Amino acid sequence: MAVPLFNLTPDLIVSRLCLGTMTFGEQNSLPQSFQLLDKAFHSGINFFDSAEMYPVPQRAETQGRSEEYLGRWIRTRKIPRHQVVLATKVSGPSGQMTWIRDGPASLDNWNITEAIDGSLTRLQSDYIDLYQIHWPDRYVPMFGEIEYDPTRNFSSVSIEEQLTALQKAVDAGKIRYVGLSNETPYGLMKFLHVAERISIRVRIVSLQNSYNLLCRNFDSGLAECCSHERVCLLAYSPLAMGILSGKYLSLDGGPAEARLNLFRGRYAEGESRYSLSHSSVQKATDRYVNIAKKYGIHPVSLAIAFVLRHPLVGSAVFGATKLWQLEEVLDGCKVDLIPEIVTEINRVHSAFPNPCP
């Protein structure tokens, strides 16, 4: 069974599974990355997501390798450019990644332009199909934070300047479409309204936010915005960083090479959100895994099928470090969740709502 397709825009058709590349260059060597890309492409996946800061955990020595590996794969395999949809992201302000434009410092015109040109070089491509702002150039609670603290606001680059820089890149043929990531309802609507007010032709077509059985925050506010404004969700972390596979529930805590074990203490963004040390995460995960067992479905298939059944989800952005993991995700496309399963899922969600925000 081929991976189904979705019209992100009238002339941008993407597979409903998107292979994320943030392990390429860290957990995955170049040959291993090529194996995963080959398998994904020949299974019907045409949509590949990266970012200028990848791989993770981020460090100066490896920054940009994920894009480089993806670009080398396209060139080496001589894949016609129009047969793949490339998505990547510009890093928002951060005081940690000083090797990326001093922070990065901001999302002003210069930073956005430099980031686009850098990604094009690493991807060995003339254009990027979907260019996304990785996180906002303003204070917002994210990566596990849930409460807004107005005292943490800082001076940020205007949305007008960000959109103008992106419009210049579209006009130059460097990018085709624009998306946001890790955004809030306020941020999404602000971008749409500012674009309309200043007559910018760039329109936000997608939102890449976390969405999975353990995190359904999208449905509280953002879903309404996306529905009325015709913005589709690219749901990242559909397996909650592998937790929903059930592999971390074993007595030994799961395989040593699993990401949350391999990078323990080095990946604060992931560990702050996806931690089985929180009893609610462990209890909810255990119940979802048991639902899968009850109905003879692999836990990965249950998790993927749940995300893909959402009417606003265009594609599920997932990662894999092994071929068998990729095959498990592909199997999720074959599963249709019957009403009884959905009822049981919602019952667990009511008992343990969004333990991995």
Residues carrying an active site annotation? 54
Q: What is the distance between the alpha carbons of residues 306 and 317, in angstroms, rounded to a whole number?
A: 13
Q: Within 10 Å of residue 296's Cβ, how many Cβ atoms?
A: 6
Q: What is the distance between the alpha carbons of residues 245 and 238, in angstroms, rounded to a whole number?
A: 10
**DSSP state, 310?**
S
Six-digit token string for 8? 């992100």
Q: What is the distance between the alpha carbons of residues 257 and 244, in angstroms, rounded to a whole number?
A: 16
Cβ-Cβ contacts under 8 Å for 189 (sequence gap 6 or more) = 225, 229
Query: C-alpha angle with apex 193: 210 to 231, nearest 5 degrees?
Result: 35
SS3 193: helix
As beta bridge partners, residue 6 has 14
Amino acid present at 253? G
The DSSP result for 63-129, as a single string, is TTHHHHHHHHHHHHTT--GGG-EEEEEE----SSBTTTTTBT---SHHHHHHHHHHHHHHHT-S-EE
Helices and strands counted in the chain (H then E)? 12, 10
The two beta strands, 232-236 and 204-210, are: parallel
**DSSP state, 144?**
T
What sign has the CA pseudo-torsion 101, 75, 133, 204? positive
Contact 46, 85 (CB under 8 A): yes
Q: What is the distance between the alpha carbons of residues 177 and 249, in angstroms, rounded to a whole number?
A: 40
